[in-house]
Amino acid sequence: AVRARRAGPIAGLAGGLAAACALAAVVAWPQLQLMTVTPTIFETGRGQHRTVALADGTRVTLDGGTRLSVRMGSQRREVALDQGEAFFDVAHDAARPFTVKTAEGSARVLGTAFDLELSHERGPGRVELSVHRGRVRLAPKGLIHRTAELTVGQRAFATEGRLSKVRAFDPAGDDWRSGWLETDGVTLARLVERLNRASPTPIVVEGEDLGRQRVAGRFRMDDPDALVRNLALVHGFKVREGGGGLVLTR
């Protein structure tokens, strides 16, 4: 009788551990199942746009110099954006959340349309989210960080585990898909990074001080050569040819 009374708590603990393990297995299964799916790779070269239809009906438009891999599981849909920028028009499926992961953070939705850009030009990497329809959660990399719920016409970015302030933009305006970029202020280095996705001719900024030069306006992206030469006249830097591309210098 004494042995039976002492075994009771131990048996209860063992039962609790077994239940916890079972719960963990249930929670982890969707991700484990997803990892068994062979990813489909999509990528574009410089100056190339491409629109692809995923197996679930989602349509993705890739900017130049963009690479992503797609896994469609029975309970989750996951895309890894390795570089570049893409516009996602996500097919609604409440039973299978759709997540786009990058090195700097992730965006999770059920059914919506949004743009996601991964940037690494001169400084810490960052991922920028612009929501065109629905609602998207932006989460910086790391386990314990503040997230943000963005809705139509809102934009924010994540960098080094932190979130920026949410800003407004016009989702009906032109963007890179129609050959335009409109900004109220961006560094020359960031602009050149975007131009390099649109241009088959590489463009290089020499010097960190010039890379930090801020420019603003509405830029036509399909003629990068003319754009950087016009900016050189306005901001007082030089453009020369070299190394098979264009070099911007003071």
Report whether 42 contacts 50 (CB < 8 A): yes
State the sign of the Cα–Cα–Cα–Cα dihedral 182, 184, 186, 188. positive
Residue 171, helix vs strand vs coil: coil
Q: What is the DSSP letter of 111?
A: S
Work out the angle at residue 75's Cα, subtended by the Cα atoms of residues 66 and 30, and round it to the nearest 5 degrees.
Answer: 95
CA atoms within 13 A on the CB side of 214: 5
CATH code for residues 40-168? 2.60.120.1440
The tokens of 178 are what?
Answer: 């129609």
pLDDT for the residue numbered 122: 59
Closest CA to 111 of 133, 137, 78: 133
pLDDT for the residue numbered 144: 73
Work out the angle at residue 77's Cα, subtended by the Cα atoms of residues 173 and 80, and round it to the nearest 5 degrees.
Answer: 70
Task: Count Cβ atoms within 10 A of the Cβ of residue 197 and give its class: 0-12 exposed, 13-18 middle, 19 or more buried.
Answer: buried
User: pLDDT tens per residue, the chain (250 residues)?
Assistant: 445 455 555 555 555 555 444 444 444 545 666 778 899 999 999 989 999 999 999 999 999 999 999 999 989 999 999 999 999 999 999 899 999 999 999 999 978 999 999 998 656 789 999 999 999 999 998 877 789 999 999 999 999 899 999 999 999 988 899 988 888 788 999 999 999 998 888 999 999 999 999 999 999 888 889 999 999 999 999 999 988 899 999 9
176-249 CATH choice from 3.30.1120.10, 3.55.50.30, 1.10.3720.10, 3.40.50.2300: 3.55.50.30
Q: What is the DSSP letter of 236?
A: T
Phi-psi map region of 217: left, alpha, beta (phi>0 left; psi -120 to 50 alpha) = left
Task: Count Cβ atoms within 10 A of the Cβ of residue 66 and give its class: 0-12 exposed, 13-18 middle, 19 or more buried.
Answer: buried
